[in-house]
Structure 1
Amino acid sequence: MGLFPETIAYALSGGRVDVAWLVRFDFTSETIRLWNGNGQLKTMDGAVWEGIGQLGGVSGIEQAVNGEAPQATFTLAGIDADVMRLARDEFEAQVKGRLVYVLIQFFGVEDEDDPDNQRPLDSPYSLWCGRLLSPTFTFDASGERSVTLAAESLFSLRSRPNYAMYTDADQRRRFPGDRGFEFVGSLVNKVVTWPDY
């Protein structure tokens, strides 16, 4: 079975298909699910997402290319002072280093008189995952407050070993008798001529 069978079948039958962004924040004490529409959205997997309409924004969702891991940002505007204070005071304990997921959800819009009546097709599809880094707070002249969370792609940690070093001593500590990293130190800045006739 391929991806999005309901969506493809609906589109092939002449139906109009729309798409929405879904963002899931896995905070320490709870999971927050938001989407870029209005009202609540219940997806096929049973999850309920709260709509933020035009008050939220997502940017920087890119594929990692040429060894780079771009950062994404998540902005919530129009917040009150209490939400801003909570975001600042609870960030270290609740948010920093936690995972955030960006997903897409396809919809079949059947009623032309009510185009916002979304009917989810298939389950949400995950596009991006990252770790939350730091918040930025703004308060403009008109009095509007906003908070922006930066997140780094999980791809940014690709070269970091899991609690290990690429050394002979560490390898032997983990696996006694293993000589797989025995010559790593001698390979630094070594020039290898190949083929060698």
Structure 2
Amino acid sequence: MPSLFPETIAADLGKRKVTVAFLVLFDFTSAPVRLWRGSFTLRTNDGERWKGLGKLGSVSGIQQAVNGNAPEISFTLSGVDDEILRKVRQEFAAEVKGRHAYVLIQFFGVDDPDDPDNQRPLDNPYPIAAARMLRPEYAADRDSGERSVTIKAESLFSLRSRPRYSMYTDSDQRARYPMANDKGFEFVGEVVNKVVTWPDY
């Protein structure tokens, strides 16, 4: 089986410097937007271009969903002007709400010691998180007057136990398929939290 990051592993084994950065893909309604925290437009090995936000963009809340918890991710853009605020307020529902955002990692190898900022991508970007965008939040610093917009997004795992437009019950199943005498959920109530030993000798 081929390695997931062959170029990155080879660079590391060759004692070259390897760094990593987060990339963010917003799947807006009109068109996807690709961003990262670099100071220039990055072209990754898959041919995509990622606009650099520098220190104006940040991501927080990326963590593994454990113990039934579904973490919330925050995407923040600082230094926004009136035009951006207007667009967020007027277009959020149609362009953003309910759409997906993806966080990816990208490895880099610095090949030229005389030009340490000339980072070259190693391998393709790799997705590590996906979330559903929910709502915007606004903030302003009283001292500096700097304004920011934060988009809150819920993990896709948050709806993993919620049935779509139905309940996992015998009565609901029979109501949906009365002519078929469907008994597929007849014993659901009896198996909740039940421990089954298999094989049972």
TM-score, normalized by the shorter chain, greater than 0.5: yes
Aligned to 2:124: 123
Please tell me whether residue 105 in structure 1 is matched to residue 106 in structure 2. yes
Q: Is the 8 A contact 1:44 1:120 kept in 2?
A: yes
**By how many angstroms is 1:54 displaced?**
0.6
Aligned AA (1:123): N
- Give secondary structure in 2 for the equivalent of 1:23: strand
- Give secondary structure in 1 for the equivalent of 2:149: strand
Aligned to 1:95: 96
Aligned to 1:43: 44
Aligned AA (2:69): E
What is the number of equivalent residue pairs in this alignment?
193
- Give secondary structure in 1 for the equivalent of 2:98: coil
Aligned to 2:149: 147
Q: TM-score, normalised by structure 2?
A: 0.89
Structure 1 unmatched runs, 5+ = none
Q: Is the 8 A contact 1:84 1:145 kept in 2?
A: no
Please give the root-mean-square deviation of Cα atoms over the aligned residues, in Å: 2.2
Aligned to 1:54: 55
**By how many angstroms is 1:11 displaced?**
1.2
- Give secondary structure in 2 for the equivalent of 1:79: coil
Write out aligned runs for 1:1-197 (5 A): 1-141=2-142, 142-172=144-174, 173=176, 176-184=180-188, 187=190
- Give secondary structure in 2 for the equivalent of 1:90: helix
> In 2 relative to 1, CA 156–112 (structure 1 residues): closer, same or farther, beyond 3 Å?
same
Question: Percent identity among equivalent residues?
Answer: 61
